[in-house]
Structure 1
């Protein structure tokens, strides 16, 4: 088993290094920048990671395993109806960004996907696996909403989950470019319109393309 000290130092490197890489990009961040961000000697890096690629792979798991767990917990909350779970989850995220004086969002997985998905197969595969898992979690909640009559019976829940996930990522990008939560609020308004029994998902996509 890893000792607490070893685990804590590894986690520190992963947390601080991932922040640096999210801001500067994979190619713009070397091992030196990672260890400087973590405040450790460069030699310590190689006690935990075989290479910068290995660091990126471990950082993806370190950051997104707990996020996916929180996402699943929120969308599995039996005290709320499925539709409300989804809307509340995104509303809370938007409230978080709205509290910031200048909304900021540095997406580690987004940065890696743009730079490395085609150049490094292991990173590309791990990014895709995380994104697919997120879609699956949302699709399960949408299926429950469909069973309870909150959305149309013929809804393709997996396709709808993909659409919502992609729309959210696009809204985050617009927020980052414009330093405004307005795109996120538009996303939530449209999501509320989308998740109703009478909404035809296919027509909704065409009307909002």
Structure 2
């Protein structure tokens, strides 16, 4: 098997398995469910992953590396003011969820952190790294907003970035009950927070 085929199969297992684990949780997902979703023999799983924990760690990387890259790209778009970048990003997410015929959202990182962060420290550490990377991206954009006079000079951008990121995680949790109302509240409050 060449390297390209090996990576394609690994990526397929990660993508399909992460979807299953997101819906069913870590404990509710066995290796059998992961390989069934990917359409591969069970033995192939252990060709790529040492354990279910190893799979979960690699799946976090697989799911969130491109998401963080998109977030960094959106918040680094110098064609827009820093404030417009942040608000535009979250307004687009709101529009995305509102366009869904049946609102369905399950947060992979949220599910793993609730269920496994204490039980498997390696997962807890990786979840924290991903969330902190997101906060760091937002903080840099907030600092640009501050330098551009879009935020007060005395604003603590690190604290504000952490607050916004934590509020967003709460919104994603609330989406599980099938309403975008918390997301509307979030965007409205964000608009007020990001005023000079």
Contact 1:102 1:180 in 2 (8 A): no
TM-score normalised by L of structure 2: 0.97
Alpha-carbon distance, 1:169 to partner: 1.3
The answer for the alignment partner of 1:183 in structure 2 is: 182
5+ unaligned residues in a row in structure 2: which ranges? none
Provide structure 1 residue ranges, at least 5 long, that are not aligned to the other structure. Answer: 198-209
* 1:195 equivalent in structure 2: 194
Residue 171 of structure 1 and its aligned partner are, at CA, apart by: 1.4
Structure 2: distance between partners of 1:172 and 1:119: 23
Is contact 2:87–2:187 with CA below 8 Å preserved after alignment? yes
CA distance in 2, matches of 1:176, 1:144: 33
Larger mean Cα displacement after TM superposition, 93-102 or 132-141: 93-102
User: Deviation string for 1:134-183 (max 9, x for gaps)?
Assistant: 00000000000011110111111011011111111111222221x12121
Counterparts of 1:155 and 1:18, CA distance in 2? 38
Correspondence for 1:143 = 143
Alignment match, 1:113:
113
Within 5 Å, which residues of 2 pair with 1:18-167?
A: 18-167=18-167
Contact 2:174 2:182 in 1 (8 A): yes
CA distance in 1, matches of 2:168, 2:121: 25
Q: How many residues align?
A: 196
